[in-house]
Amino acid sequence: MSVADLGHVRTGHIHPPPDTFVKKYVFSLDHKVIGVQYFITSGLFFVLAGLLAELMRAQLTGPNNHVLSVATYNEAFSVHGSAMVWLVTIPVLTGAFGNLIMPLQIGARDVAFPWLNMVSFWMFPPAGILLFGSFLFGAPQAGWTEYPPISLQMPFGTSMWCMAIFLIGVSSTITGINFLVTIVKMRAPGMTWTRMPLFVWATGVTAFLSFIATANLSAALAGLFIERTFGVPFYDPAKGGSPVLWQHVFWFYSHPAVYIMILPAFGIVSEVLPTFCRRPIFGYKAIAYSSVSIGLLSFMVWAHHMFTSGLQHWEQFAFMALTMLIAIPTGIKIFSWLATMWGAKIHLCSPLLFVLGFLSTFTFGGITGVLLASVPVDIHEHATYFVVAHLHYVLFGGSMFGIFAGLYYWWPKMTGRLLDERLAKLHFWLMFISFNATFLPMHWIGLHGMPRRVATYDPIYASTNLFVSISAFVLGLSFLIFAYNALRSAKQGEVAGPNPWGGRTLEWMISSPAPYYNFDEIPIVLSGPYDYGKPLPYANIKPELATVPTH
Amino acid sequence: MASDGESKRLKDDQGHYLDAGFWRAVWVMAVISVVLMAVVVAYPIDPWFLPEASTTSVDIDKLFKFSMFFSVPILVFVNGFLIYFAIRYRRRPEDPDSAIGSQIHDHRALETWWTVVPAVLMVTLAVLSYFVIPEYYPTGQAAASAVTMEAIGHKFYYEFRYPGLRNSVMNDAHLPIGVPVTMDITSLESSQDVNNEAVIHSFWVPEFRIKQDMVPGMVVPLHFTPRETGTFRIVCTEFCGLGHSHMWGKVIVDSRSDFDKWYADQKRSEQAEAKGVQPISLAPGDAGAGQTTFNAKCVACHKAAPFEQKLVGPGLGNLFHDPSHPNLVTGKPATPANVADIIEHGAHGDMGTMPPMQVNGLSQKDVANLVAYLQTLHK
Ligand code: HEC
Ligand code: HEM
Ligand SMILES: [Cu+2]
Ligand SMILES: [Cu+2]
């Protein structure tokens, strides 16, 4: 396809830049500013949720401790889990990375609906305030899943939890629609589906999931709120409701939600690998289409969280088989990433280190996921520390390592400065080792008989728990290195230039930080993004920026 | 096997992708995998890790081992290649800035293999799992032929109903070895309860490898056959409130004759009770022994501190000497007999449920000792 065949090249209209502080930084319509707002807000919630985790681990250093009261411990794990899922992982991966990177990668000047984008961000801080504020009114205690009937018997904080998650849900639905329209309608001319960067594929599938699945969560939450407030019986068995109904509707959202939390991380991995391996990604189409098939399958497996809730025999079998099916596209991705390293020219910089950490820990979490999918084995493992270990291997080992890979990778694009590599490597090794030391032993005690969501335990688990707690404290410290590095880079960070890593996707073809309205002229895309060894596949790019320097 | 054309492609530009170093790395990983797989096969879960105390547990462990068996090589090869590639293909100082890696975009045969092999493993695991499910959720014949009993979840203890026994057994279930049991699992229904306290609990015996949520309004039959004698834990795994961390029971698997003896004892005490000769335990107790019992059984819910210092239940430090709370939670005055009554039969009020003595595993003697100990407290 030649440039001439591409038809019109949109120029669009350009608004003058905002002039007041409020318009520029508070109610900004710029996707990049909104992305950073998401980062800062979720970062704050991450610190709070992390501190709750450390408090929990302090309580669990020994059996029958009284660091926290039982009620406070219950509140701690409920708010920790809810915050990590809804206020940290989902907003960072969709709101923050999606906003910051996706429009740049498709050569757009902003998302399709900038004003909606601003609205959906501003639903987010109030949700966080409601969730953490619930501590003043008796925070939720029944975990991030809030199964009724017990969640119907708790104080007002649980209603605040409903409102908080409802708000997040609406925000996530709106963002989903916004991103979908952006990806479908606003790609630069010449960017066919199979020329899209893989992070855009992942963001697209994620947006679809948020858009379709989140409405179910909102319905379930509305039901819980109405039952708690007005006594309309949806879930209370004594009044003719069904507690299992909640479980179905909740997981019909929350299983896709675990893919909302991992697909964008897959996308980040697929960007970082070719850049630092200096070679085309192995199996571009396989990776892109496996994201789509994972997305579709994720709607068909929700009841694997309910194998002990009294499902019919055939339901158990069906959900087991469908769950195992997901292992296949996931395997394809992992093997394709590995093959990308084969015969590569590897620059072992911090983003790649985090990706290697991701590959190692996520594969482990995927394997324990297969163990949990087999119904008879799950009957033993369900709701034990084995599950706590599994979920941290995929959410922390997967999503969080992916998030940090993305942060180190795109930090220069976001701020114009590089983070210090030595500190970054220290951060990686400390986090990787203490992460495994914290969560690996949990598999053991779970299989041996320690249930989740308990403030105390049989003394036979004392030494393992003490070891886990000490590792968790070290894990907490590792984040301080990142915080210090981030602050330090503002003044002392090396100036990055447009393309410090030698990336080939469009965000690297403009200056750092990305200028207002991103592209003076909308670029034209002539071929796929990862063809190292071939000339850059773009027209309409400023030639002084379109070089591939290396770091 | 890759065809000629394909293996040529794998070697193209630099010609060293399948060189001796690669095969050496593969061999190392293969040897590590085989060793670990052998360990997985040979590892005696019972007795080294956890007894296999029900017949089902043996089959579930086989499935677990099968999954581990194929997971081990996957983990070894993924991590092995990760490390090997990161070292082998690292950029050397002498490489120019513009140096790039291989140009291979895909490889049909390789991709087919890594789709088909996991698919076969998953199908195998699904089929094997399928045949184990009916062992604990039986249909028809097997369920009907077993002894049927009931397990009911309460805040925060288990109630067992045996065929032929009028009284329920609390927390500690006795079962005879080798007799198939169908246990109807459910939770207390809230309509029976003043405080609307029905919640989901769970019945898990790790040594049996079985678990079933106790959902109010739902009865799920769970089937198993104990195959080892001993005392095994029952653990609640569904969050059920403040007492969840402590919701533990016991399954005591007896020989046939021991079980028969226990059952006969239960029957006899039922008959004695029917004649009204249940003794009230107010024989003078031993405060020292009472303190030991208190620290073992009560501190999860009570402090030896003033009434206001609540855990699950009130502080008991001034139980007999508290002018601001002259009456007990039952509304009766704080006399030794009334306190003993609460400890024996439990109580139920605004703060929640004080479990009866069977649940706390107390004997009549223990109750007397506890009352003696509580009388010595004065904070
Ligand atoms: C699962 C938690 C739990 C355990 C274990 C427990 N209790 Fe209680 N206890 C309670 C609750 C809750 C109450 C208050 C009930 C109410 O509100 O009516 C209570 C009330 C009492 C009272 C009445 C207090 C008063 O001021 O009226 C006494 C006496 C008592 N418990 C003794 C004991 C002893 C002795 C033990 C140990 C064998 C024990 N409890 C174990 C939960 C527990
Ligand atoms: C410093 C690191 C962390 C530590 C030490 C930690 C510790 C814990 C512990 C001990 C529990 C189990 C509580 C229990 O069952 O009693 C827990 C639960 C949970 N954690 Fe974390 N965690 C950490 C980070 C994360 C991250 C990064 C995420 C998500 C991205 C996360 C998500 C969750 C979720 C969803 C639960 C389940 C909560 C529930 O039971 O409802 N955690 N965490
Ligand atoms: Cu799921
Ligand atoms: Cu419980």
Is A64 a residue whose pLDDT tops 60? yes
Q: How many domains does chain A have?
A: 1
How many residues are recorded in chain B? 379
In a domain, B97, yes or no: no
pLDDT tens readout for residues A298-336:
999 999 999 999 898 889 999 999 999 999 999 999 999
Inter-chain contact A316–B216, Cβ cutoff 8 Å? no
Check the CA dihedral A341-A342-A343-A348 and report its sign: positive
pLDDT tens readout for residues A165-216:
999 999 999 999 999 999 999 999 999 999 999 999 999 999 999 999 999 9
pLDDT tens readout for residues A457-472:
999 999 999 999 999 9
- The domain of A359 spans 3-539
Q: Residues B319, B353: one domain?
A: yes
In a domain, A288, yes or no: yes
Who has greater pLDDT, A7 or A443? A443
Q: How far is the CA of A305 from the centre of ligand 3 (A)?
A: 6
- CATH number, domain containing residue B361: 1.10.760.10
Question: What CA–CA distance (Å, rounded) separates A524 from A546?
Answer: 13
Inter-chain contact B106–A320, Cβ cutoff 8 Å? no
Question: What CA–CA distance (Å, rounded) separates B279 from B344?
Answer: 11
Nearest to A73 by CA among A50, A58, A56, A60: A56
- CATH number, domain containing residue B246: 2.60.40.420
What is residue B142's predicted lDDT score, i.e. its pLDDT? 65
DSSP-assigned letters across all residues of B318-350: TTTS-TT--B-TTSSB--HHHHHHHHHH-EEET
Is A67 a residue whose pLDDT tops 50? yes
What is residue B332's predicted lDDT score, i.e. its pLDDT? 82
> Of the candidates B246, B274, B302, which is a domain's last residue?
B274
Inter-chain contact A359–B312, Cβ cutoff 8 Å? no
Is A61 a residue whose pLDDT tops 90? yes
In a domain, A549, yes or no: no
- Band of the pLDDT at A547, cuts 50, 70, 90? low
Residue from the list A283, A309, A453 with its beta carbon closest to the beta carbon of B106: A283
Residues from chain A that touch B127, judged by Cβ atoms under 8 A, are: none
Q: Residues B261, B291: one domain?
A: no
What is residue A172's predicted lDDT score, i.e. its pLDDT? 95
Q: How many domains does chain B have?
A: 3
pLDDT tens readout for residues A379-399:
999 999 999 999 999 999 999
SS3 sequence, A81-131?
A: HHHHHHHHHHHHHHHHHHHHHHHHHCCCCCCCCHHHHHHHHHCHHHHHHHH
What is residue B379's predicted lDDT score, i.e. its pLDDT? 65
In a domain, A551, yes or no: no
In a domain, B227, yes or no: yes
Give the mutation target among A52, A70, A72, A77 for probing the ligand 2 site: most ligand atoms within 8 A of CB. Answer: A77
Q: Residues B248, B299: one domain?
A: no
- Band of the pLDDT at A548, cuts 50, 70, 90? low
In a domain, A139, yes or no: yes
Nearest to A431 by CA among A353, A362, A375: A353
Is A526 a residue whose pLDDT tops 70? yes
- Residue whose Cα lies nearest atom 23 of ligand 2: it is A53
Give the mutation target among B170, B299, B301 for probing the ligand 1 site: most ligand atoms within 8 A of CB. Answer: B301
B157 — phi, psi (to 5°)?
-150, 170
Q: Residues B20, B37: one domain?
A: yes
> Of the candidates B251, B274, B297, which is a domain's last residue?
B274
Q: Residues B152, B132: one domain?
A: no
- CATH number, domain containing residue A184: 1.20.210.10
In a domain, A413, yes or no: yes
ipTM above 0.90, yes or no: yes
Nearest to B201 by CA among B163, B251, B232, B159: B159
Share of chain A above pLDDT 70, in %: 97
Q: How far is the CA of B244 from the centre of ligand 4 (A)?
A: 4
- The domain of B252 spans 145-274
The answer to whether residues B36 and B72 touch, using CB atoms and an 8 Å cutoff, is yes
DSSP-assigned letters across all residues of B90-138: BPPTTS-TT---------HHHHHHHHHHHHHHHHHHHHHHHHHHHHHS-
- pLDDT, one tens digit for every residue, chain B (379 residues): 334 444 444 444 455 577 888 999 999 999 999 999 999 999 999 989 999 999 999 999 999 999 999 999 999 999 999 999 999 999 998 888 788 888 888 888 999 999 999 999 999 999 999 999 888 887 766 666 778 899 999 888 899 999 888 888 888 999 999 999 999 999 986 554 444 478 999 999 999 999 999 998 889 999 999 999 999 999 999 999 988 998 999 999 999 999 999 999 988 888 877 776 544 445 677 888 888 888 878 887 888 888 888 878 888 988 887 777 878 888 788 888 888 888 888 887 777 778 888 777 788 888 888 988 888 887 6
> Of the candidates B252, B274, B296, which is a domain's last residue?
B274
In a domain, B280, yes or no: no
- The residue-averaged pLDDT of A51-74 equals 95
Question: What CA–CA distance (Å, rounded) separates A280 from A211?
Answer: 32
Q: How far is the CA of B312 from the centre of ligand 4 (A)?
A: 14
Nearest CA in chain A to B132: A376
Question: What CA–CA distance (Å, rounded) separates A269 from A356?
Answer: 9
Strand B169-170 and strand B157-161: the pairing is antiparallel
Q: Residues B17, B57: one domain?
A: yes
Q: Treating both helix axes as pointing N-terminal to C-terminal, what angle do B55-88 and A313-341 enclose, rounded to 10 degrees? A: 20
What is residue A12's predicted lDDT score, i.e. its pLDDT? 56
In a domain, A544, yes or no: no
In a domain, B193, yes or no: yes
In a domain, A352, yes or no: yes
Who has greater pLDDT, A497 or A11? A497
